[in-house]
Structure 1
């Protein structure tokens, strides 16, 4: 509540019940809940339709290449935000994905494509100030409830629904005999 504009970047698993007064802009390829609440939808390319840079859970920077052209009016995410920046008179300093990647490499975290952060990551942890929080002895818990249904593409897939059902059945405790 209280926000004038909310931009959802493919976000469909967020509680939007308190956004009644806000203008919601959805940027995504296969929207469901987020897109249904949106006032403006900017269609982005699916992951197979764009060159992307991402960081996996290991901290390894990886790049992908476009497998096919985006469909219809869809654009790559970087191109959507570059165009928006121009409209807002806050033009971002890149016009191609290569120029964007070059800019990212200026940040130490993105300099080593394909390499885990190793010692550099450990050094970053040392920069956390004392008293920033405390560690708990509670075991780690998955953030994602159902891995097989984490996005609109997966939720629309019969195969992923079957995988989800199988995984759920395997997670069900069996009574002792």
Structure 2
């Protein structure tokens, strides 16, 4: 099941604003790596429940059928705002500062954890946190 990297496939992503964005294949994947939708399609066939998609266009059409946001690619669609928090009383905001739950940004995903470069970034970050000098600080 070798899957293609994000640069090796045409894909649809939803950004943090909830807007769909499409990418285009920049380079073909190596070896037997395939686009995700083709892997899922092949698995469905092997499992005896073949999905009715034979092209990326068919997958994208189904996405738009399920959620109209996928029909609004490259468009800015106004959001429909609703009350936040339901019926709970508003109260005062907590004065405590926000703190990131991320302890080590360089190791937050599988690619980063396998990267020699990200491991070096982690070592440098720990050294700086321990008060190490980098040679550029006098």
TM-score normalized with structure 1 length: 0.56
Pair member with larger Rg: 2
**Cα distance 1:145–1:94, how it changes in 2: closer, same or farther (>3 A)?**
farther
2:114 maps to: 156
Deviation at 1:95, TM superposition (A): 1.0
How many pairs align? 125
1:119, 1:148 → 2: CA distance?
33
CA contact (8 A) 1:61 1:116 kept: no
Deviation at 1:51, TM superposition (A): 1.0
Structure 2 spans left out of the alignment, 5+ residues: 132-138
Q: CA RMSD in A?
A: 3.0
What's the secondary structure of 2:72's corresponding residue? coil
2:58 maps to: 99
1:114 maps to: 74
**Cα distance 1:144–1:76, how it changes in 2: closer, same or farther (>3 A)?**
farther
What's the secondary structure of 1:159's corresponding residue? helix
Q: Which has the higher strand share?
A: 1
Per chain length, whose mean CA-contact separation is higher, i.e. which structure has more relative contact order (CA < 8 Å, sep 6+)?
2
2:101, 2:54 → 1: CA distance?
35
Counterparts of 1:15-164 in structure 2, within 5 Å, are 42-106=1-65, 107-115=67-75, 118-120=78-80, 122-123=81-82, 137=94, 140-142=98-100, 144-164=102-122
